[in-house]
């Protein structure tokens, strides 16, 4: 991707600062978000009996999307408002920025039956964990592929992880992830 950019970018249209910042975003999102999803997904599976057995038989797209809904790392995102409008009866003016809590939406009981439960066969699953619209996550297919491979390998391993104590989550308002997860194997 970086080689393509180096070969094709038009320096008069994309400044060095914009290019560097965009690459920083891709690197950061590409690493942090996926790593945190993997970390969050494991205690979610360990908390839900039978999940790893189900994943050992194959990590389906349906299962992956449920893991992202339930254990997704991105808690919030922001949108700049382009015209005066209203959200849930609240006026929002052009130019204002709205922060939406997508992780809360993904646990909304009006949208999901038994929202706090991990149901690997949940379908349909209209979650917002990768955002929506033209700025939806660029790396979603890569994140899902990595998760499929990593969790699948873990689930098929002949030794199963067992939690020792409670997972410790990092205090962070926007990106949910583990600080510590103690496991025993066998």
Per rule CB under 6 A, count of chain residues that contact ligand HEM: 24
> Is there binding between residue 39 and ligand HEM (CB under 6 A)?
no
Q: Please give the full DSSP string across 160-174, using - where no structure is assigned.
A: -EEE-S--EE---SS
Please list every residue from 94 through 113 that binds ligand HEM, using CB under 6 A.
Answer: none
**Which residues, 132 to 151, sit near ligand HEM by CB under 6 A?**
132-133, 135-139, 142-143
Residues 16-35 that bind ligand HEM (CB under 6 A): 25-26, 29-30, 33-34
DSSP-derived 3-state class of residue 185: strand
To the nearest 10 degrees (0 to 180), the angle between helices 34-46 and 140-156 is 40
Determine, following the binding rule CB under 6 A, whether residue 65 of this chain makes contact with ligand HEM: no
* 178 CB-contact burial (10 Å; exposed 0-12 / middle 13-18 / buried 19+): middle
Please identify, among the stretches 10-18, 53-61, 129-137, 174-182, the one whose residues bind ligand HEM according to the rule CB under 6 A.
129-137
Q: Is 154 in contact with 174 (CB distance < 8 Å)? A: no
What is the contact surface with ligand HEM in residues (CB under 6 A)? 25-26, 29-30, 33-34, 37, 68, 72-74, 77, 129-133, 135-139, 142-143
């Amino acid at each position: 991707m970086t080689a393509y950019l180096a070969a094709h970018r038009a320096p008069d249209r994309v400044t060095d600062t914009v290019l560097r910042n965009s690459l920083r975003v891709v690197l950061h999102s590409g690493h942090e978000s996926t790593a945190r999803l993997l970390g969050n997904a494991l205690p979610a599976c360990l908390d839900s009996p039978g999940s790893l057995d189900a994943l050992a038989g194959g990590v389906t797209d349906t299962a992956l999307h449920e893991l992202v809904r339930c254990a997704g790392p991105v808690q919030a995102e922001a949108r700049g408002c382009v015209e005066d409008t209203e959200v849930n009866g609240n006026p929002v003016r052009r130019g204002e920025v709205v922060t939406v809590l997508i992780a809360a939406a993904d646990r909304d009981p009006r949208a999901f039956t038994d929202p706090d439960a991990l149901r690997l066969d949940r379908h349909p699953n209209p979650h917002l964990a990768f955002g929506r619209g033209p700025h939806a996550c660029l790396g979603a297919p890569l994140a899902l592929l990595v998760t499929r491979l990593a969790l699948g390998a873990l689930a098929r391993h002949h030794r199963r992880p067992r939690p020792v104590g409670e997972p410790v989550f990092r205090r962070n308002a926007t990106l949910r992830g583990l600080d510590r997860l103690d496991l025993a194997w066998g």
